[in-house]
Amino acid sequence: MCLAVPGKILEMRDDAQATVDMMGATRSVSVRLTPDAKVGDFVLVHAGFAIEVIDAEQARETIEVLRDLEELEAEELAGTGAMTAAAPAGAEA
């Protein structure tokens, strides 16, 4: 499964690289696949590449879903102490 994370372009450089804020973390990403992207645009970032320019509302919705997933994972880890694989049926503890 692949996941692309939305980020806001903070700075563009001449080498087809941009500084992007992705949920508070800044990263350098290639904008070769999104030649029309500009400072202030939101892009989906996958494997170090901006792969699509998206609107601010779509970025907000996606970030909200990602934060919800983080909360669910934290709750899961807090409830079990750790994520473990279930023992096969009939296996002794």
Q: List, in order of start, the domains of the chain with CATH numbers.
A: 5-79 (2.30.30.140)
pLDDT tens sequence across 34-58: 999 999 999 999 999 999 999 999 9
* pLDDT (average), residues 69-79: 80
Distance in angstroms (rounded) separating the CA atoms of residues 35 and 30 = 10
Distance in angstroms (rounded) separating the CA atoms of residues 83 and 21 = 30
On whether the CB atoms of residues 8 and 20 are closer than 8 A, the answer is yes
* pLDDT (average), residues 63-78: 83
3-state secondary structure 28-87: EEECCCCCCCCCCCEEEEECCEEEEEECHHHHHHHHHHHHHHHHHHHHHHHHHCCCCCCC
The rounded mean pLDDT for the chain is 86
Question: 43: exposed, middle or buried (C-beta count within 10 Å: 0-12, 13-18, 19+)?
Answer: buried
Does pLDDT of 3 surpass 90?
A: no
pTM of the model: 0.72
Q: Which pLDDT value is given to residue 37?
A: 97
* DSSP states of 74-92: HHHHHHHSS--PPPPTT--
Q: Which pLDDT value is given to residue 85?
A: 52
